[in-house]
Structure 1
Amino acid sequence: MVFKERKNQPEPHSPLFADTLLLIHVVTHTVAIASLLHGIASGLLVGKFVWFAALSTGINSGVSGIIVAHELIHRKSKVWQALGIWNLLLVNYAHFYIEHIKAHHRYAATLKDAATARYGESVYGFIWRTIPAQFRSALHLEAERLIKKGRSPFGLSNFVVASALAQLIIVLGVFSYLGLWAGLAYLLQALIAVLLLEITNYAQHYGLLRSETERISAEHSWNTDNASSRFFLLELPRHSDHHYYASRPYQELLSYPESPTLPTGYLGLLPVVLIPPLWFKMTHPILAARSKVSPMS
């Protein structure tokens, strides 16, 4: 967990392998959830094994499903975007498509951004605040888009409304056709996936601030070059470059020496983030030294 590799690729790699890997993840994300539901409905999974399976599926949905969705919704191709939205639908978080692209990437590291953790804010307070705030943000962004076109702001042309309805239909279908335990397991895996996403969001932007007129740079997101995290999470830890150049494919993301650096990889970070005093002790000296501290909001 401590090995780091700062080297940037000297030239872009062929996208074929990288794109194929994304497609494999989309398929395995779908198959994992389908297998969970089939196992419960058929009686292959019973008792505590239902919840163990839901937990492992939720981890896969967060680590594989949402990370790949995040990459795909940044692609220009509508086909790639649709695959990303599909991954998000399966964890009841399709509004992330709107909020992340149109709000988070515009306002990251400012107090306008619902997905940027404030200095001194615990991960628990952040999750409580950010999940409803991101949904409201996405809903209003879509409403504003439709109002400008002279259309109903909260009809089915609103992506957030339409996707929420689609998610509700999926959930009701699972409960109706596969039973109570399958429905609860489906909701649990989605919840675990969303919590993993927002815990990651918390760590990626905690306490970093820029003015609204300042262009976002590599200094406005936490980075790590931990080799295992980069390998298993498809270069997500090189988050600074992702915000600096959002359209750059994941396999070409760069490392910048000026980026604030997390002291460990993402797996090692998880237990630290969940203990706020320990997280503050780790990050506040780094923030103070960089003079990029965000005031409490």
Structure 2
Amino acid sequence: MLKPFDDSGSELDALYSVEPRSNGFDLIVESRGGSDHGPNAARNSEYAPALEQHLTRMGALGMVLDDLQVASSIAMKLPELDRRVSLDKFPLPLALSPATDVRELRHSIGRASAAFGRTDGSDRGNRTKRMRLRMQWPGAAGMTVNAIERMLWRPIAPATDVQPTDDPRELQKRVAQATAHIRAAAKRGTVQPPPGQTTPPKASGTLSRFVRDPNVIAWVLNEAAGNCEICRHAAPFLRAGGEPFLEVHHVRPLGDGGPDTVDNAVACCPNCHRQLHHDRNRDTLRQNAIASIARLRDYPLTATADTVTPATTVIL
């Protein structure tokens, strides 16, 4: 179990732990108890600000609160269905975001906790019970319990903020910078997927091409760890600088309306990349990739490819 730090760097007295799930994880927030003035020492005295801190950090990563359960010793004797609670002002599942009113959400959780087990309809019980927040988040795939716990431990900071560019040579330079930052963050256990660009802008000139985000490319290549994410084989060779030769491919091409985000990009060897573009069964190959790589989403076709010269292949 860990105690989180707030954004000012102060540790909060509120233990929490994480349990992994197939599509995310469970956050278990320990109950508040004891008394500062009674015979029993206070425990988890900063339950409320810590819960708000967790909700804020999970909202920054776009997680979904899928289910909420009381996890007290008494509740744990009940069937799981009977441990669930509903929120009065927030329907579940609830997509968290930076705009979520985490204070009101925390109050709503407190009211649900207090009303749990009461038959008179009141909410005068303990508002700070041990709670289990069931979170949906594809980013948890492949992460260890320790990595998820530490992700919520301290303020979330982007691994890199290298800016997008439409110049292919400059893009490769910026990808190298972003890669160094992301690998350093990965060693600390704090690497996070970059937000990317949902609607990449276009740069006009003699050739119109999309502005690419080097952070997305670097993150995908780091995830691939030198192996093609399609055929699972090692990169065919190393570049002069020692980096595995892989290409970053948009599963839904940018020219077809796909976003420049990590859930629409794969690292692949040149053969698999050409297949994804030109194989007679490329639609099947695309669907197979989406089905086999947990982070990928099936973005719809929203534009025609002839609206822009894509120039989306990045070789690193």
> In which range does the TM-score fall when normalised by the shorter chain?
under 0.3
The answer to which structure has the higher helix fraction is 1
Q: TM-score, normalised by structure 2?
A: 0.23
Question: Looking at CA atoms only, which structure, 1 or 2, has the larger radius of gyration?
Answer: 2
> Higher strand proportion, which one?
2
Q: Per chain length, whose mean CA-contact separation is higher, i.e. which structure has more relative contact order (CA < 8 Å, sep 6+)?
A: 1
User: Which TM-score applies when normalising by structure 1?
Assistant: 0.24
